[in-house]
Every structure is written in structure tokens, then in C-alpha cells.
Structure 1
Amino acid sequence: MLRKLSFSFMAIMIGLMTVVGSASASTVTYPKSIVHKDGALAYEHMDYLANEIGSRVAGTDNEKLAEQYIYEQFERIGYETEIQEFSYGEGSDSSNVIAYKPGKSSEQIIVGAHYDSVSAGKGVDDNASGVGVMLESAEVLKHIKTPYDVVFIAFGAEEEGLQGSKAYVEQMTQAEIDSTVGMINLDSLAAGDHMYVYGNAGEDGFIRDQTLNIAEKKKLDVQTNPGLSPDYPAGTTGDWSDHAPFKAAGIAYGYLEATNWEIGDLDGYHQTVEHGDIWHTENDNLEFLEQEYPGRVQEHLSTFSTILTDLLKFMNKTSTAK
């Protein structure tokens, strides 16, 4: 069910903030100057979600605080924003935060990043980083006409089996599916050794192909899965993140991620040579990442923000970026 954030719900959230004591009841604002520095605003959003709110396990007060923060940020930017509540499992509840940007045509692109986390660490990489990049691009593009409508979605309960993205796709009409040019998924962008983009096999991989073209033109260090494992052909990835329900519905996807496909089981799950996995561990915190990989987080957020913003500005349904 989609709904506007009601006064009573806002009152509940203010109460939660008072109890938890980790976030302000008023909307958080940032200096306008950092909007024009690629990755700077994404970093601030990531830092707030991870360090002011903390781990954001599905169904907890902290997940609700993150929902409220994201909702308020989209509203602050000036987007029409809604909450989609959903239930899963045996009585578990979560929600998606959805913001709408009108474009030049009736077709749409969906951009998604999950905002929940596991209990280990603070969920900086997985996935405050993805939410931060999405919010930064949303702000940069506010007054720029995009070729398509853009639907920004912060998914809840991804860590519980992609529940937020499944709930969203299940409520899409066939007309909405048909009018969706593609879905861009942002997940775990900060920690991995290398920056990647994946997409569908063949011509339906145009989002991946356009991303690689943008990266080449702007000299950004983004690559794709080299296909070292026969289970994951070059340029593709597994169905383990929020792109999967859209892919199953026949919607083309692009997936931005930082990891390392050349180590471990060659499946992209092991993120770093030095420390192995960062996601789902106590090392998924900003202090560890800044100490062990100085400059990496900033570089990744800047690169992915530039890529996402350019994709949304120039996306077309062919294999060549303009």
C-alpha cells in the first residue's frame, strides 16, 4: 500500500527518535556547496545512516529511523515521496521509500538501494553506501530534465530475502512493467577492491554497456565481471540483490557494486584481498574502512555518483551511450 507519511506516523517516528536517541527529530540538512562535489553528499548520507542511526536490522526501530531519514531527504530535495508498507514471513513488517522525478517521456527508470542492514557492523558498505549515492544523484538531478521519469526506491528488508524489491515488483501492473526501461541497483559500493557494473546478457545489457562507455570517456576505473567462473558469464552477476525481482519480471537491469571477482570462489562474494568479506561482518564500519583503505570510500562514492547521474541524464535503450 502506498501512502503519504501521515502526521500520526511522524509523531510515532519522533517518539522513536527520542527513545533511541541517535537521530534528530528535525530534518537533517547539508551545505549546498557539497552537492557539486561528486561523492561528498553521498558520504554524508552514508555516515549519518551508519553512525547516527547505526545498524538497521529489518523490523527494528533503527530501520524505521532510516526510513524516516530517507523520506525526509527526498522531501527536502522536493520530490513527491511515498511510503510503501509491506509484510513478509510470519508477521514481519517493513517498508519502501519511493520518490518520483518526472522526465521527458512516459517511460521510467527505477533506481534502487536497500537501507536495512544486518546486525554485525554498522552497514556502511552494505548498504548505506548505495543509499548515499542514490540520494546524492537525486539531489543533483532535481532541476535537470531526464529523458525518462525516474523512480528512486529505498528498499526495506533486503537482508531478509529481497523482501522490499519483491513487494514493489508484485504491485507493479503490466503497463508499469512495460513502461520501465530498466532498473539500476546500488548495493555495497564502498569497500571492495574494484568497482563493477553488471547487466543482462546480450542486447538487454545496455545499462551495463552504457555505464562502461561513460567510465571510459571519463576515465573512471569501472569494469565488469570478467567471467572467470562458468556459473557467472562475463558481464553478468547472480540473483542475490534487489535487481533480481525486476529481472524476473522481464525488466533490464544494471547493477553497481564494489567487490573482487578474481579471488575466492570467483563469484564476486569475496570483496578484498587483505580482509576478505567486509559486508555482514563487524568490519563494515567507517572507522575500519578509513583506516585500512584511506581514500577508497571517497573514490568509490565519487565514481559511482558520477556514473549514476550520467546514466540518468543520458540513458537510452540502445547499446551505445550518447
Structure 2
Amino acid sequence: MRKKITISFLAMMFSLLTIVGSATAQTVSYHPSLVHKNGAMAYEHMKYLAYEIGPRVAGSINERKAEEYIESQFKRIGFKTTVQDFTYSRRGTTTQSSNVIAYKPGKSSKQIIVGAHYDSVSVGRGVDDNASGVGILLEVAEVLKNIPTPYSIVFIAFGAEETGLRGSNHYAANMTQKEIENTIGMINMDSLAVGDNMYVYGSAGEAGFIRDQALEIVKKKKLNVGTNPGLNPEYPAGTTGDWSDHAPFKNLGIPYGYLEATNWEIGELDGYDQTVKHGGVWHTGNDSIEFIESEYPGRIQEHLSTFSTLLTDLLKFMNKTNTSK
């Protein structure tokens, strides 16, 4: 009987697998109109990762499902895409994870790396940390697909960030000296959805050109984004700590930019307390769409729209004359 399946039946099954929002990662598609409203496509990617897949602990089946989903989305968009597998040992256990990498040629062979981690902790849904960042990564990649950019762009979804920046460390450690010299900067996105305030950070001194150019866009477009005010002397104004995927690139001497939503004016003034009302939401059971939208109506949509606008313009208009490399 299995050999007698008709062509029409196969066609019907294929159409069912490719409907909008299909539950099969390799065939998920979205209505093209979503890319014309900043943040709308990002929201759908965020929701898929957090709810169709769920918590994405490093090395788990769900992390692999997320990898497959992201790879399929980059390919759907039309990018040359590769998966960089890696393993690491922790507490006597060897874990396998991967980075998903898409390449967009630009006007210059010089490149900028744009990344966000797709793994999460086991509690909550990992909506804020960091399905939100991956949502923006995928949306902006699609928006810019056919737009000439000053630099070539390497979009990377990093695995195993929550267990020690494993994916970004692996990628950075395997860059050649030529690649390092060819990379004018790295932009990281982590936890964009729930924090009271939206921020952009960057390297100290002249190497902070990514942050500075982002703040010029903020001013021009009247976006509600600021930077670390520097109330804590351990984290000078405009910078941040080395706790996310920008750090391995910073250690290579590559200037960084970093998009995040949190609150630097409460708690220990270190950005870990994201909200006045609930403190930190990341790494808790509150990291879900239901909780965030109940407690902060409209915040997710505002943040995704704002960060999408900012990152898109930053990548479109990066000013070569202001770079330090």
C-alpha cells in the first residue's frame, strides 16, 4: 500500500507541511507582509522558539530543534548557511552544540558580525533570554536580504551561551588572523523583550563607534534607547560587562556593539535587575509571553519594533570613516 501513494496525495501532504506557521521546523514559512512592519516577524520567530520548541537547554533535543529551525529560516530567506558544530566538557560531561551562520555579501569585503544566542535555561520559556534576540536577528537578516550594505554581514545564532559563552568562544577561537583583521565590529543582542529601558552599549574610547553611530540613529529617529549611564564605576558609561557573546570578540580586539533591555538604575546598578516591578525576569519561570504581556502590555512589541529599526539602520548606514580598524 505504501508504494501506491498517488501523486495528488503527495501534493496534498506537501501543501499541508508548508502552510504558514507549520509545526515542522524545516518547512515553517511566514506571510511576506510581516517583514514590512518592524518587529512583527521577530515576534513570530520568538514565539516559535519559545512555544513550538520550548526551553532550549544547551545540548538538549530542543536546542537541536532550535538550530534546525534557525538554519531553515536563513535558507528560506536565501542566505548561504552553515552549521558549525562544537563540543565542550563541563563537570565531567561532554556536550554537543552548534552555531548557525549565514553570510550576506556587502559593498565591501570587510565584515561585521551580528549575533544572538538561541539556547536558554531550563525554567521559563526563554522568551526574553534569548528568543527575542534571535527574533531580531532573523527579521533584520530578512529585511536586509536585497539591500546593499556597506559591509558584508555574518549573522550568527550562537549555541550554549548559558553554559559559559561556549558558541561565541568557539567561533572566535577559530577565526584566522586575516578574518579578525577583516572584521570591523561585532553586534550582540541579548534579552531585548522585558527590561524597563532599552540600551545600546559599545567598546570604550574610539572603538565605541558602533554605539555612537547607533545613538545618532536613535536621536534622528527619536527612538526610546539610551546607554549605560555609568552609575556603577565598574561599568563605565556607554559600556557593559563581559557576560554575553560580545566578550570573546572584544578579547580579540574587535570593537563591539550590544543591544539589551534592562535597568541600570536599580539594584546593584549592574544591569542584572531588569525591572522595578519584578527585578530580573530572565532565568525565572516568568520568562514567558503570558507573564510579560500581562505585566507590561505592549512592551514586547515596542521593544522588538525599536530594536529592529535601530539594527536595520545601523547595518544599512554604518559609516566607514568613523571606524577604528
TM (norm. structure 2) is 0.91
Residue 23 of structure 1, CA deviation: 3.8
Superposed CA deviations along residues 51-89 of structure 1, whole A, max 9, x for unmatched, are 110000000000000000000000000000000000111
Q: How many residues align?
A: 299
From 113, 117, 120, give the equivalent of 1:117: 120
> Match for residue 18 of structure 1?
none
> Match for residue 82 of structure 2?
82
The CA distance in 1 between the partners of 2:44 and 2:215, in whole Å, is 27
Q: Is 2:25–2:69's contact at 8 Å kept on the other side of the alignment?
A: no
Superposed CA deviations along residues 81-139 of structure 1, whole A, max 9, x for unmatched, are 00000011142110000000000111000000000000010000000000000100000
Matched residue type, 2:287: D
Residue 160 of structure 1, CA deviation: 0.5
- Cα pair distance change 1:264/1:79, threshold 3 Å: same
From 155, 159, 167, give the equivalent of 2:158: 155
Does 1:132 find its partner at 2:135?
A: yes
Does 1:297 find its partner at 2:297?
A: no
> Match for residue 48 of structure 2?
48
> Match for residue 10 of structure 1?
none
The CA distance in 2 between the partners of 1:159 and 1:298, in whole Å, is 25
> Match for residue 170 of structure 2?
167
Residue 195 of structure 1, CA deviation: 0.1
Superposed CA deviations along residues 241-271 of structure 1, whole A, max 9, x for unmatched, are 0000000000000000000000000001100
Give the secondary structure class of the aligned counterpart of 1:301: helix
Matches within 5 A, 1:186-197: 186-197=189-200
The CA distance in 1 between the partners of 2:108 and 2:277, in whole Å, is 46
> Match for residue 14 of structure 1?
none
Percent same amino acid at aligned positions? 73
The CA distance in 1 between the partners of 2:140 and 2:25, in whole Å, is 25
User: Which stretches in structure 2 are left out of the alignment for 5+ residues?
Assistant: 1-21
Residue 141 of structure 1, CA deviation: 0.4
The CA distance in 2 between the partners of 1:199 and 1:318, in whole Å, is 17
- Cα pair distance change 1:26/1:166, threshold 3 Å: closer
Does 1:185 find its partner at 2:188?
A: yes
Matches within 5 A, 1:9-48: 23-24=23-24, 26-48=26-48
From 272, 279, 283, give the equivalent of 2:286: 283
Matched residue type, 2:70: I
Does 1:208 find its partner at 2:211?
A: yes
Give the secondary structure class of the aligned counterpart of 1:136: helix
Matched residue type, 1:241: S
> Match for residue 69 of structure 1?
69
- Cα pair distance change 1:203/1:26, threshold 3 Å: closer
Q: Is 1:58–1:157's contact at 8 Å kept on the other side of the alignment?
A: yes
The CA distance in 2 between the partners of 1:25 and 1:161, in whole Å, is 27
From 213, 223, 228, give the equivalent of 1:225: 228
Instruction: Say which one has the larger Rg.
Output: 2
Give the secondary structure class of the aligned counterpart of 1:107: strand
Q: CA RMSD in A?
A: 1.1
> Match for residue 15 of structure 1?
none
The CA distance in 2 between the partners of 1:102 and 1:317, in whole Å, is 16
Which stretch of the first structure deviates more once superposed, 71-80 or 81-90? 81-90
Residue 25 of structure 1, CA deviation: 5.0
Q: Is 2:88–2:95's contact at 8 Å kept on the other side of the alignment?
A: yes
From 86, 108, 111, give the equivalent of 1:105: 108
Q: Is 1:193–1:273's contact at 8 Å kept on the other side of the alignment?
A: yes
The CA distance in 1 between the partners of 2:197 and 2:151, in whole Å, is 30
From 260, 264, 274, give the equivalent of 2:263: 260
Q: Is 1:23–1:53's contact at 8 Å kept on the other side of the alignment?
A: no
TM (norm. structure 1) is 0.91
- Cα pair distance change 1:319/1:267, threshold 3 Å: farther
The CA distance in 1 between the partners of 2:300 and 2:51, in whole Å, is 15
Q: Is 2:25–2:65's contact at 8 Å kept on the other side of the alignment?
A: no
Residue 34 of structure 1, CA deviation: 1.1
The CA distance in 2 between the partners of 1:42 and 1:317, in whole Å, is 28
The CA distance in 1 between the partners of 2:50 and 2:149, in whole Å, is 31
> Match for residue 244 of structure 1?
247
